[in-house]
Structure 1
Amino acid sequence: MSSRRQYQREFVRTFFTSPTAVEGDDSAKMLRSASQLRGMQAPDAWIPDNEDATAPSMREEGVENIVEVVSEHGEEFPGEIHPRIVWHRDDPSTRYEGFQQMLRIADPEAGAVEHVDGFVIPEVGDIDDWKKADEFFTIIESEHGLEEGSLSMSVIVESGAAELALGDLREEMGNPSNNLERLFMLVDGEVDYTKDMRAMTPTGELPAWPELRHNTSRGASAAGLIAVDGPYDDIRNVEGYHARMEENRAKGMIGIWSLTPGQVVEANEGPLPPETERWLLDVGGSEVELDDVEGGQAYDGTELGLEELDEGMYRLEDGGEIHELDEEQLRERLVEMVSYVPSMDDIVDSMAEFEAAKEAGRGAIAMTQSATLVVDGIEVEISTDRMWDEATYQAAGTPIALFRDVHEHRPDQHDELKERYGPEVVERALDLDV
């Protein structure tokens, strides 16, 4: 039996888990509801969760529900489907139970496996434990006549041993004694990681674990895999969720766990290039977004004050500090305080300009951004120059590469992308050489 799956995705924005069985007349209702999600509400990776999200007494029924719902709705679901089964690095009986769950879900006669892209393995330990899981995948593929390597394996990093194993991946993947090339996503599980590390905080809240997120992102980059952050359980704190995702993206970790369809929307849209450009002003150590008004970019706050004095001098009050500056000094000071966030249209323009310069034989060009800053009614013209070379071009291309990856693999989001950016910008982004 040949595989129809493709593992060409460079990005996964959303990792959305659903209980496989819940109490009630229809125990599969959560799965059925998730299978109907479309557009920005549908995740890149849907995880029917037969581990933590499902009570142990319901897991047998959960396997049956996965088979039933995925068989019926999997073909129309726009994202990838990766059920999470049970596993534990220290418990052979749990590992065997997980093997049996995968064996039943992957049975071609049950009708679900043709829509299942892989499985998520929780609670892994050292690299030998990863190899045990991989061996079960190989056995399942052989047992059911599936193409070897057709089922991807994603793991949840929930222990110190698993974190250390991230450093072994480059050496181990590709060895003839394993099929670890099937690895796809590396997902952080901060809750169980905290337990495994015996960590404590005064409030009982989870530590931030920036080191874990960095190590997972680095391990994914080194091995050509995809890094995904763990769950953000304060589901009403949209601002906090955004801040977490922005911090992750600075580490190269684009994906994040989503617990609700609302979080899926936020996580799907968050990494996409901005619709419009923004100017930010550093005031008192915090970045404030300037208001786009007729005549320029205006600061509307009390932490920064500007007053025009006699003979071309100005008084600038910044967080209680007062500076008397001439016009050029004022301009230089404000240039140091501002930063520019380009829109997708602007990124595409800059990249197209650099591509044209390369064709003309130029290796570097200067890009200029200008604006009129308005502080206390006083207008100040500023401009910033940034040199673009090949490295700058490649770095700037990451948001466009993400956009193109989404466009290729999520046709159900095409209309929303066109509405967000406009058809012309979408086409120009697709025409770039990134």
Structure 2
Amino acid sequence: MSVQRKYEREFVRTFFTSPTAVQGEDDSAKMIRSAAGLRGIQAPDVWVPDNEDATAPSMRDEGARNIIDVVAEHGADFPGEIHPRVVWHRDDAEKRLAGFEYMREIADPENGAVDHIDGFVIPEVGDIDDWKKADECFQMIEAEHGLEEGSLSMSVIVESGEAEIALNRVRDEMGKPSNTLERMFLLVDGEVDYTKDMRAMTPTGELPEWPELRHNTSKGASAAGLIAVDGPFDNIRDVEGYKERMEANRAKGMTGIWSLTPKQVEVANKAPLPPKDGTWLLEVGGGEVELVSEGGREVYDGDGVSLSESGGSYVLAIDGDEHELTEDELREELLDRTSYVPSMDDIVESMEEFEAAKEAGKGAIAMTQSATLSIDGVEIDLSKDRMWDEATYQAAQTPITLFQDVYEHRPDQHDALAEIYGSDVVERATQVGN
């Protein structure tokens, strides 16, 4: 069954939440007022004025009014999408009613905000019947306010075992006459409440990694044509840990991640994009070491590998073993231990070359990667051939499709992208594959 999607974005990199009302401040809306002014690389793809966990229960009525005031005033100029989070709970009818009333108030056209509201985020959902309850609330709000059916998208936060199981049923339920679940947009992991619901414990009290949850959310999103987003990374100072988490997520097909600060937004906006410069990696000690480009050579500068040459014979010491090798044997050993991370320009150039070959009637071509490695001053030339066919081309296209999606929906980031890659590469990247 084919489901008609209600949104245009193919990718979401950043899901940024901010409290809707802060107690003890002259302006309780200061946090969302500040967030509404974010632009460029610091502005998220999806901004979530958070009238649930980030806002004290006693402040949520004021928080809903703040959403209306700030979005009505600044929403037209905000470069990303706006999806407020309201209260909800699978086991609590009072919270579901409160969530309905908040959405109803915020979406009232007379309040001036709904024209800039793209949808709402529903937390603490349960099984698929609970998702349908939330969807029916959207239907009633749209009907009452004369809004087009499905115009408000619905995103959910997966925070329970029930919700995780429901991920396997979304695809079958979407598009049935009895619901409008085609309005679904994001599937967002909420690992904190999920840990509580699962009654999970670790010796240190830290959250488990939950790679299975992230995989299942990504799988559910892929099956239903939705977008998967990882939960918050609480250690906001651990930039490298945040990047590593995102890299692991992307290997699961999950591009987006929750961002708690504008700095995290900036990091998460950049991380999924192809790198500006290509990088050679050398496998050492079970990990990969980035080589340094110097004067046309790729230089290893570390203590884990040593290489010497005498009379055409080489001695390579690596991972605690010493090998005496001929030049060809050394080259094969290093070829097995090296890999290349292509730059944006590399990917675009390879795609352009394959497109030209396909136009000329060729179904597959060989792409060559070459480099001169330098270890302890000893140099060796490496060359790798990789066959490109249509499947390889399609796989390589994913990061370019992401870039094109960003370029189309975030014109406020055009200058930053040109500064990173150069105008020529940006221009070619927007055209290749079309």
Q: TM-score, normalised by structure 2?
A: 0.98
Q: Which amino acid aligns with 2:16?
A: F
SS of the residue corresponding to residue 204 of structure 1 reads coil
Post-superposition, which runs of at least 4 consecutive aligned residues in structure 1 deviate over 6 A? none
Equivalent-residue separation in structure 2 for 1:123 and 1:335 (angstroms): 49
Equivalent-residue separation in structure 1 for 2:137 and 2:28 (angstroms): 28
Q: Which amino acid aligns with 2:34?
A: S
Aligned to 1:397: 397
Q: How many residues align?
A: 429
Aligned to 1:322: 322
1:218 aligns with 2:223: no
Equivalent-residue separation in structure 2 for 1:352 and 1:271 (angstroms): 21
Equivalent-residue separation in structure 2 for 1:55 and 1:154 (angstroms): 22
Paired-residue identity, %? 72
Equivalent-residue separation in structure 1 for 2:422 and 2:303 (angstroms): 37
Aligned to 2:412: 412
Q: Which amino acid aligns with 1:91?
A: D
Q: Which amino acid aligns with 2:93?
A: P
Q: Which amino acid aligns with 1:282?
A: E
SS of the residue corresponding to residue 11 of structure 1 reads coil
Deviation at 1:6, TM superposition (A): 7.0
Deviation at 1:313, TM superposition (A): 1.1
Deviation at 1:319, TM superposition (A): 1.9
Q: Which amino acid aligns with 2:66?
A: N
Out of 400-409 and 6-15, give the one that drifted further: 6-15
Aligned to 1:193: 194
Aligned to 1:179: 180
Equivalent-residue separation in structure 1 for 2:199 and 2:419 (angstroms): 48
Alignment map for 1:149-298 (pairs within 5 Å) = 149-298=150-299
**C-alpha deviations, 1:5-38, integer Å up to 9, x for none?**
9711000000000000001110000010000000
Aligned to 1:75: 76
Aligned to 1:344: 344
Q: Which amino acid aligns with 2:259?
A: S
**C-alpha deviations, 1:130-168, integer Å up to 9, x for none?**
000000000000000000000000000000000000000
Equivalent-residue separation in structure 2 for 1:197 and 1:183 (angstroms): 25
Equivalent-residue separation in structure 2 for 1:160 and 1:416 (angstroms): 41
Aligned to 1:92: 93
Aligned to 1:387: 387
SS of the residue corresponding to residue 74 of structure 1 reads helix
Equivalent-residue separation in structure 2 for 1:6 and 1:345 (angstroms): 33
Equivalent-residue separation in structure 2 for 1:68 and 1:170 (angstroms): 36
Equivalent-residue separation in structure 1 for 2:108 and 2:85 (angstroms): 16
Q: Which amino acid aligns with 2:77?
A: E
SS of the residue corresponding to residue 168 of structure 2 reads helix
SS of the residue corresponding to residue 167 of structure 1 reads coil
Q: Which amino acid aligns with 2:12?
A: V
SS of the residue corresponding to residue 254 of structure 2 reads coil
Out of 5-14 and 64-73, give the one that drifted further: 5-14
Aligned to 1:373: 373
SS of the residue corresponding to residue 373 of structure 2 reads strand
Equivalent-residue separation in structure 2 for 1:233 and 1:430 (angstroms): 35
Gaps of 5+ in 2: none
**C-alpha deviations, 1:248-274, integer Å up to 9, x for none?**
000000000000000000000000110
Equivalent-residue separation in structure 1 for 2:71 and 2:319 (angstroms): 58
Equivalent-residue separation in structure 1 for 2:290 and 2:192 (angstroms): 34
Deviation at 1:170, TM superposition (A): 1.2
SS of the residue corresponding to residue 61 of structure 1 reads helix
Deviation at 1:295, TM superposition (A): 3.8
Equivalent-residue separation in structure 1 for 2:338 and 2:395 (angstroms): 21
Equivalent-residue separation in structure 2 for 1:130 and 1:299 (angstroms): 53
Q: Which amino acid aligns with 1:267?
A: A
Gaps of 5+ in 1: none
Q: Which amino acid aligns with 2:400?
A: I
Q: Which amino acid aligns with 2:420?
A: R
RMSD (Å), alpha carbons: 0.9
Q: Quick one: structure 1 residues 295 and 415, their matched pair in 2 at CA, closer, same or farther if it must change by over 3 Å?
A: closer
Equivalent-residue separation in structure 2 for 1:153 and 1:170 (angstroms): 15
Deviation at 1:286, TM superposition (A): 1.1
Q: Which amino acid aligns with 2:239?
A: V
| Preserved CA contact (<8 Å) 2:12 2:45 | yes
SS of the residue corresponding to residue 75 of structure 1 reads helix
Deviation at 1:121, TM superposition (A): 0.1
Aligned to 1:114: 115
SS of the residue corresponding to residue 169 of structure 2 reads helix
Deviation at 1:433, TM superposition (A): 2.2
Equivalent-residue separation in structure 2 for 1:282 and 1:155 (angstroms): 40
Equivalent-residue separation in structure 1 for 2:106 and 2:372 (angstroms): 61
Equivalent-residue separation in structure 2 for 1:297 and 1:90 (angstroms): 59
Aligned to 2:16: 16
SS of the residue corresponding to residue 89 of structure 2 reads coil
Aligned to 1:134: 135
